[in-house]
Amino acid sequence: MVYLVPLIIFMDNVSGNISKQWNKHHVIYMLNMNLPPPMEMMSAMQESISKAVESGVFTWDCKHKEEVMLELYGLFLGGNNPMQAEECSHAGLHCNYFCRTCEVGGTKEYKESDEGYKSIFVPGKLCTPAGTAEEICTQFSSALLLGMSEKIKKSVASSGVNDTTTGYILETVVELGKKLCKWGAGVQAKSETKVKAILEKQLEDLLQGSTLEDAINLLLGVEGFNVHQDTPTEILHTVLLGAIKYFWGQFMYLLEKAKLLDIFQMCLNSIEKAGLNAPCLNAEYICHYKSGLIGKHFKSLVQVMPFLIQDLLLRTVLDGWTCIGELVVYVWHTEIDDIEIYLV
């Protein structure tokens, strides 16, 4: 037998940006396009764990000198925010209800109102795997009706539910529905019934003998595991390269507008660094490459910012840095070498 293996070949210059601290070098990656997408791999992994739970894993206990059986279970799923959203069958931040954990949010108009803006900072009703699975099934039910493609798009944007595991199936049915809708424009209900039967047959063929409930995201049905609750927030991009980075950008804009960047650099350079949990604070580098800082820079800066800007800008800016400092204290109670700590 001869098998064709399609490859995506990627080459790039890593750390070529002059704002980075690392030496420039080139890397080449190859990706086997025969590999399944992430959620299909996750389904296979979960099936392996389920089989191990049913039969147990037998091994030798070297301490007690006896054979033992191990029982496995998933504690939580680590990853960055986009991947964790996909694991929850969630569309991500560009939705009315943008959180994969709870139903905080609402329409654009509501979030811009006084009441809606305040509600963003209060936890919403918790999402449940059963509720997400029900919404996915509702989207498929709509796909079997004529003229529902726009409604499905709005459903994804408004609810935030988007199952990538069965996404290609839903898209195929919707596209077929569009073609049949053009063909059946102005026809009687009898023809609409025939079109629905065609769509149902198409869906049945795509599911290849599985039920829709079995085909959707397997993580939504894992016993004793709530994928919405057990995907702890990844703090690097959420805190350091999220809220802190953007606040730093606004702060630097105000500083340059007031022509105080040189004074800030002198303050940063003169501060006592002995008590910091950081190797150094290179004031010249930080101020020169202010738009290209990485996580460790922000982690160091946030510890000293309130002491540097006492008399430089408005009190509200100082209060902002103080609040961010309190947030970081909650996030990093502890740190073990290079292991990433997650905010639960």
More confidently predicted of 335 and 276: 276
Answer whether residue 37 shows pLDDT above 90.
no
Q: How many residues does the chain have?
A: 344
| pLDDT, position 60 | 96
- Residues 146-163 have a mean pLDDT of 84
AA identity, residue 43? S
More confidently predicted of 329 and 133: 133
More confidently predicted of 80 and 60: 60
**Paired tokens of 255:** 């500083």
Q: Name, of 31-45, 68-82, 153-167, 245-259, the range with top average pLDDT.
A: 245-259
| pLDDT, position 264 | 94
CB 146 within 8 A of CB 195: yes
Residue 342 β-bridge partners: 234
Q: Is 279 helix (H, G, I), strand (E, B) or coil?
A: coil
**Paired tokens of 294:** 């990485």
d(CA 171, CA 111): 30
| pLDDT, position 342 | 38
CA 51, chain centre distance (Å): 28
Q: Report which DSSP code applies to 57.
A: E
| Confidence category of residue 259, pLDDT binned at 50, 70, 90 | very high
- Residues 190-208 have a mean pLDDT of 84
| pLDDT, position 184 | 58
CB 309 within 8 A of CB 322: no
- Residues 184-212 have a mean pLDDT of 79
AA identity, residue 331? V
Helices (H), 236-314: 245-257, 261-270, 283-288, 295-308
| pLDDT, position 310 | 85
d(CA 77, CA 231): 5
| pLDDT, position 104 | 93
% of the chain residues with pLDDT over 90: 45
Q: Is 151 helix (H, G, I), strand (E, B) or coil?
A: helix
Please say whether the dihedral angle defined by the alpha carbons of residues 108, 114, 120 and 124, taken in this order, is positive or negative: negative
- Residues 183-208 have a mean pLDDT of 76
Answer whether residue 280 shows pLDDT above 60.
yes
pLDDT digits (tens, 9 = 90+) for 2-27: 999 999 999 887 765 555 556 677 88
CB 171 within 8 A of CB 127: no
- Residues 298-324 have a mean pLDDT of 90
pLDDT digits (tens, 9 = 90+) for 204-245: 999 998 899 999 999 999 988 999 999 998 888 888 989 999
Structural Rg of the chain based on CA atoms: 26
